[in-house]
A and B are shown apart, each in its own frame.
Chain A
Amino acid sequence: DVKVTQSSRYLVKRTGEKVFLECVQDMDHENMFWYRQDPGLGLRLIYFSYDVKMKEKGDIPEGYSVSREKKERFSLILESASTNQTSMYLCASTRGGRETQYFGPGTRLLVL
């Protein structure tokens, strides 16, 4: 079974804090993704990575950065958290191409 894990299920941070969200997959997948999900807006892609140390911006990268130092781990960084970054953050991975994307359980972030 593919397993995608995220470091926290729930997180509360203050405005201006630096926030790290970590995602780990155990299936040797090349591609990893970070999405955020908000009511009425669906799933929106923040960043993705198709190889170690490679990253590409998704649809809404502003205010975020990512790091992929190892194949199994993809980190999302909020350099200075703001209240409009309160959201559900979802990590996904896939072997590539038309392969199925597998999601982690999500991290619900609240920025006060």
Chain B
Amino acid sequence: DTGVSQDPRHKITKRGQNVTFRCDPISEHNRLYWYRQTLGQGPEFLTYFQNEAQLEKSRLLSDRFSAERPKGSFSTLEIQRTEQGDSAMYLCASRGPKGRGDYGYTFGSGTRLTVV
């Protein structure tokens, strides 16, 4: 297990197109988070999964955004009808169960989205 993997690393898309990103967390981590980071800002929370259940969504996550974690393993984040304002770094993080061994988030390298 080499940590949290995100694919692709970079994505350039035309406005109006749909994009999908994938995150593979650390295998024993049951908690998975998606964040978005724009220039000069810290990461902003988008959504949270515990196993396959999506338990929290930010108001930042408009109807054009959807996330899944079908078998409690990898997760996908889809953005439909992309807009230029969606350009950002999309970060995935995973975390082990509460209690011993919970060392906070482990982040992936992120997917940089550019909408032209």
Q: Do A and B bind each other?
A: no
Measuring CB to CB, which residues of chain B are less than 8 angstroms from any residue of chain A? none
List the interface of chain A (C-beta within 8 A of B).
none
